[in-house]
Structure 1
C-alpha cells in the first residue's frame, strides 16, 4: 500500500511538472528593449536613414504602432514601464531629487509593483540589463532597496545612474554589487563600450536561461543608454556615416518625411512642424555634421546588439515564442550638454600626454553624469571645435538634429507636444502575432506594457497594489481597438490629455491648446478658441486625473520629508 501510494504520488508529481513545463512553453517570453533620447524617425523602419537592419527585420516580421507614447523624460518613462502606473503614482513625477511629496520622491514607490515582482510569482525568470535610473540611491554602499535585484529581478547588469561615459560608465553594477568595467573578471572585451556590454550580457542571460531554466518563461528588460549624450561611438561605426549629414537639417528631414509618408506612418498632407534651425546659418558645418554622424553610429551599434540578441534567441529555440517590444523613453533631445564648452578644461586639443592622475583598474568612475577625466588621465573636452566620438569628449548633438530626429513633430524631450512623447513601438512575436509588416494606429502608452505582460503571462496583479492604469495591447496586436477613455501626461508643468482624436496640451504656465490628431498631429492649428466646450471637457478630465495621480503644481517645492 505504501509503495502504491508512493507510485501514485510520483505519477502525480510527474504530471504536475509536465503541466507546468507545458504551460511555460505556451506563455511567451518577453523581451522589452528601451532606448534613450531618440526621436520618432530615427529608425530605418520609421523613416530614417540610419542602418537598423535588425530592428527593421523585427518590424517586417511583426507590427509597428504609429501613435504610441512615452512620458517625455527618462525617469518618468522607466517608472511607468516598470509599474504600469503613471509616473507620479510610482513616486517619480520628475527626476531623482526628493521633494518630500508622494509623487516626487525620486525613488520608485514601495507600494508599486514592478513587472518582475508580478511575473516572478507566476513562474517567470526575470532579467534586467542596462540603465535603471529610478532611484536616487546610486552609491556602492548606500541603500539598495530600489536596485533591480531588490525589485524582483533575478539577475542584473547595468548602471543605476542615468548617464555617463560609454567607455567608462559610473555606477556599474553586476547583480547587487558595484563593479569597475576594468576590474571585472566576468567580462573582459578588447575594448569596453557600454552599448556592447548591454548587448553581450542580454545575450548571455538568454543563453544561461536556455541552459538552466528551459522549462520556465522569462522576462528581460534591456535598457540601452544609446543614443543619450555624450556622443560616444566606436571609430568603425562612425566611419560608416562620414559625410552622410553634410547636406544639413532640412535635406535629411525632408527625406525622412517622404519615406515615413511612403511607409504609411504619417499623413503627408499634414506637413511638418516648423524647423527652428537652418543649415546655411550654421557656423561650423563639419563640427555640426559630426554630431549627427556619431549619433547615427550609436544607433547602428545598438541595432547590431539587437541582432546578437535575436540570433541567440534563435540559436536556443526561443525566438518564435518570445514577444519582443522595442520603444524609446522620450523624443529627440535638444539639450546643449557640452556644446558650449568646459570651464574646467577649456583646451579643445587633446594633450600630448595625460595631465591628470591615472585611475587604477579597480577604481570606480566618478559619480554623476559628466566625468572630469578619462581613466588614463586625459581631461574631458567639450565645446565647439571638439569633434565628438572619442572617450575624452562630452557633447550632445543639439537642437537642429533633435528636430530631424522628431520628424515631423513639434518640440522635444521634456515637452508633451508630439515630438517629446511620440515613440516607435515594434512588436514581434511569431507564435502570437499573425500579422507581418502591418501598422497599428491605435493610440497607446507605455503604461500598457505591464498590463500586456500580465495578460499574456497569466500573472495575478496584487490586490494591495495601486490599480494598473494601462490596458493590454493584446487586442491591438490583432488590430482591434484598445478600450480606454483617456491618456494623460505631466512633466515639469507641461501637461496634456488625449481622448480619441482630441488632444489638449500646454507648456508650463502657458494656455491650453487643442488639436485634432486625425487632421493635425503636427499641432499646427490650435482650435482652443473655436471650441471652448471641448477644452472645458478635457480640462475637467485632466484636473481629476492630476488630483488622483499626485501631480503637484510646477515647480514643486520641497516639503518636510516623511
Structure 2
C-alpha cells in the first residue's frame, strides 16, 4: 500500500494534513527518536536502492515528519543480515561488520538514543519499530538452536495447546471455540517435510526471542538511568500473523538475491532448504500463521480477528493504578490521544501552515487509571477490499468479493456463528454506517486498485491450493 493509486487517500505516503505523534510532541519540548521500520514514506523497489530518492515530495522521511533522530529502514522488509538499505538521520549508511543482525542494530541505536536524551535531561518519545518477525526467516544460529525440534508435533497440536493455555490463563475473555484449521492448510498427519517445517517455526521463534532480548535491554537501560517508573511503554504488533507464500519466482524477485560478498541468496519456500541464514529468503506461511493467530480465523491482510487482533501491553509503574487484563477493543488510532493525555501536549489545528485532519481515536488514559473503559465510537477497517466495523460487542465483517457477516464478539470472537440472517435489522444498519464511513474516508473499490498500473510489480505470488 505504499504505491500511489491515484487519490490522496491512496497516495502511498503520509499526507501533509495528517500530523504525526513525533511532530506534536516535538512542539511540546520532547526529543523525538525512531529506530526501526518507517514504511509510510512512499514506494521503493528493493533491488534499486541506489536509485532511491528519500526526502522528495513522494518519499517523506522520519526526519521530515517530526523525528530528531532516525536509524533503520525506509522499506517494508529485507534481509536481516544484508539489508539493501540502512539509513541514519538523513544519510544512507553501509553495514561494516560481519556479524550485523537487524534486530540487534535496532536495539543498539534505541539504547544509545535513550541514554543521550536522559544525559541531556530531555523528555523523550521513542518509536521502536522492529522488523522482526517479518519475513524473511533470518535468525542467529544460537537463537534457532533453542527451538529446533520443539515444533515436531505440528501445527494442529500446537494450535489446540495454545488455545487451552490462553483459556487457563484467562487471556481470552470468553470460552470461545477454536476456529477450524485454515481451509488452505493440510493436516500435520499429511505433512511430508516435517523437519523443514519444524525449522521454519523454530527460526520464527528465534526471531521473536531476539526481539524480546532487545526489549529487555531497553528496559534494563531505562532502569539503569532511573527513568523506568516514569516511562510509559506501549507494545503491540501491527497485525496478525502473515500467511504469505514466498515463491522461487514471483514478486520476491524484487529483493536482492546476491549478498555483498557475491554469494547467491536462494529465494523461496523450498522444502528441505533450512531457513535462518542470510543465504535463504523464506516465510513461515499459512500453517504456522494459523498457529500464531489461534484461536482466531484468517491472517494478516484480512480483517477477521486473526488479521487484526493483537494484544496491547501498557507498562507505566507510576501511572497505571493496578495490573489487569482489559478486554475492551481498541484501535491504533487511540494511541495518539492517549499519548497527548499522558504528556499534556495539545493537538494543533494546523501544522507548518497546513490545516490538519481532526484528531481520531479515543484516549486510553482512563483505562490506565481505572482498569476499565469502553470505547464510545465504532471502529472501521478496510484493507485490500476486506472490510469490517466494530460497535460494542458487535462486528460486521466481509472478505473481498463475499457477503457481509455479523458476529457477537462477547460470545463468539472466533467468528464461527454468523448471525446476519438472525439479526437482519442490526446488520443492515451497520452496513449503512460502514458505507457512510467509507464514502467519507475515500475508500476505493479494491478491484479498481488492482487494475491500477502501480499494482503490477507488487502483486504477491499466490500458491496453488
User: Scaled by the length of structure 2, what TM-score is found?
Assistant: 0.90
- The residue number in structure 2 matching 1:389 is 276
| Distance (whole Å) between structure 2 residues aligned to residue 343 and residue 474 of structure 1 | 45
Alignment check: 8 A CA contact 1:231 1:291 kept: yes
| Distance (whole Å) between structure 1 residues aligned to residue 400 and residue 250 of structure 2 | 31
Equivalent in 2, 14, 18 of residue 108 of structure 1: 14
3-state SS of paired residue (2:416) = coil
Deviation at 1:560, TM superposition (A): 12
Unaligned runs of 5+ in 1: 1-94, 183-187, 345-366
Q: Structure 1 534/518 Cα, relative in aligned 2: closer, same or farther at 3 Å? A: same
- The residue number in structure 2 matching 1:195 is 103
- The residue number in structure 1 matching 2:61 is 147
Q: Structure 1 309/544 Cα, relative in aligned 2: closer, same or farther at 3 Å? A: same
| Distance (whole Å) between structure 2 residues aligned to residue 445 and residue 267 of structure 1 | 18
Deviation at 1:137, TM superposition (A): 5.4
Residue 460 (1) aligns with residue 351 (2):
no
Alignment check: 8 A CA contact 1:163 1:368 kept: no
- The residue number in structure 1 matching 2:463 is none
Residue 312 (1) aligns with residue 221 (2):
yes
Give matches, 1:41-440, under 5 Å. 95-136=1-42, 138=44, 142-144=53-55, 146-182=60-96, 191-212=99-120, 214=121, 216-267=122-173, 269-276=175-182, 277=185, 278-337=187-246, 340-341=247-248, 370-381=255-266, 382=268, 383-436=270-323, 438-440=324-326
Residue 471 (1) aligns with residue 377 (2):
no
Greater C-alpha Rg: 1
Per-residue deviation, residues 121-160 of structure 1 (Å, max 9, x unmatched) = 1111100010000022555662415100010000000000
Deviation at 1:268, TM superposition (A): 6.1
| Distance (whole Å) between structure 1 residues aligned to residue 389 and residue 276 of structure 2 | 39
Q: Structure 1 388/515 Cα, relative in aligned 2: closer, same or farther at 3 Å? A: same
RCO comparison, higher one (Cα < 8 Å, 6+): 1
3-state SS of paired residue (1:173) = strand
| Distance (whole Å) between structure 2 residues aligned to residue 370 and residue 560 of structure 1 | 20
Deviation at 1:483, TM superposition (A): 4.1
| Distance (whole Å) between structure 1 residues aligned to residue 250 and residue 373 of structure 2 | 54
| Distance (whole Å) between structure 1 residues aligned to residue 390 and residue 216 of structure 2 | 35
Per-residue deviation, residues 243-289 of structure 1 (Å, max 9, x unmatched) = 10001001111121111111111156321011133101111100111
Deviation at 1:424, TM superposition (A): 1.2
Deviation at 1:480, TM superposition (A): 3.0
| Distance (whole Å) between structure 1 residues aligned to residue 227 and residue 41 of structure 2 | 33
Alignment check: 8 A CA contact 1:406 1:412 kept: yes
Deviation at 1:482, TM superposition (A): 3.5
Unaligned runs of 5+ in 2: 350-354, 455-465
| Distance (whole Å) between structure 2 residues aligned to residue 454 and residue 343 of structure 1 | 44
Per-residue deviation, residues 379-414 of structure 1 (Å, max 9, x unmatched) = 111322211001000010111100000010000001
- The residue number in structure 1 matching 2:403 is 511
Deviation at 1:318, TM superposition (A): 1.0
Q: Please tell me the root mean square deviation across aligned C-alpha atoms, in Å.
A: 1.9
| Distance (whole Å) between structure 1 residues aligned to residue 62 and residue 43 of structure 2 | 12
| Distance (whole Å) between structure 2 residues aligned to residue 343 and residue 412 of structure 1 | 21
Deviation at 1:162, TM superposition (A): 0.6
